[in-house]
A = this chain, B = another copy of it.
């Protein structure tokens, strides 16, 4: 039996995620800032469209959102046309946006006052993960609404985990991005060094990727990094947005992120090189230039 679901934000991630919810047998109403995309989605998936998040959420038991940043999340929830203005008591709002833990806690509290449940549930796995329905979803919030939302999240996830109270999903996603930043810079320095030393970086990786230097990034990016091709995934602009959240949070909780801060500055240089839409492995481009 399908649930009544609203989905807000049909970007490169949200569009296929909403599609997997529809394919899972749920009755999905979509809202998107650019209405044409919502109409295209509704046609493809035999769903319906709404003119505002408020309208989309009015009949839904589960509302999902995948939008841009903290302010966008506030707008589609507590804004005048936001979902919190119409959601039923007991309904669950699952936010798949990568945003701050603070906005998660703020909206969790705002929902509490109205009997609305708010889960922060950022995802990893990129566009390919969204399209194939195999995302990893890291959730913060209360366990009762989580238990109800989990089967729906699993329509687009391979792994879904409740990490702790409100904000914990966002913190987990930040740890993920912090690990990646230092790792990709190390990998870039290694492959740049191989190139400068006149040794084929592809043969080097084929030997060292069996041992202690191995990583997903090494296995999945070394061939494109060796050729300075950066068309395969998460863009530098998005990474800087995420790292800004990490660095801002770190300042407030007293965590030290010296290399993450430095790598953020390196990505700023990649943007200056025209690499805003390049993938995150383009850190090697500023070494090789």
* Chain A contact residues, CB within 8 Å of chain B: 101, 124-126, 129, 136, 138, 158-159, 161, 163-164, 168, 171-172, 174-183, 185-187, 189-194, 196-197, 199-201, 203-204, 206-208, 210-218, 220, 234, 246, 249-250, 253-260, 262-263, 266, 287
Query: Beyond A192-B256, A212-B217, A213-B179, is A203–B163 a contact (Cβ under 8 Å)?
Result: yes
- Choice from B138, B171, B191 contacting A197 with Cβ under 8 Å: B171
Residues on B with C-beta less than 8 A from A191 are: 175
Total identical chains:
2
CB-CB under 8 A from A174, the residues of chain B are: 193, 197
Evaluate contact between B178 and A189: CB separation under 8 angstroms: yes
Contact of A193 among B213, B217, B257 (CB under 8 A): B257
A186 / chain B contacts, CB cutoff of 8 Å? 178-183, 185-186, 259-260
Name the distance in Å between A188's Cβ and chain B's nearest Cβ: 8
- Which B residues lie within 8 Å of A136 (CB)? 207-208, 210-211
Q: Are A175 and B193 in contact (CB under 8 A)?
A: yes
The 7 closest A-B pairs by CB, nearest first: A182-B186, A215-B215, A196-B255, A179-B190, A179-B213, A214-B216, A178-B190
Given A215-B183, A216-B212, A259:B189 Cβ within 8 A: yes
B259 x A182 contact (CB < 8 A): yes
Is A250 a contact partner of B193 (Cβ separation < 8 A)?
yes
CB-CB under 8 A from A249, the residues of chain B are 193, 197
Other than the known A177-B213, A211-B216, what 9 A-B pairs have Cβ atoms closer than 8 Å?
A124-B211, A163-B199, A164-B200, A168-B199, A171-B199, A175-B193, A175-B194, A182-B259, A214-B215
Distance in Å: Cβ of A68 to nearest Cβ of chain B: 21
**Is the pair A172, B208 in contact by a Cβ cutoff of 8 Å?**
yes
Q: Report whether B187 and A185 are in contact in the complex, using a CB–CB cutoff of 8 Å.
A: no
Cα A249 to Cα B172 in complex, Å, equals 38
**Of the candidates B159, B164, B179, B262, which one forms a contact with A259 in the assembled complex, judged by CB atoms under 8 Å apart?**
B262
Give Cα distance in the complex from A201 to B176, angstroms: 11
Check A196–B253 contact: CB distance below 8 A: yes
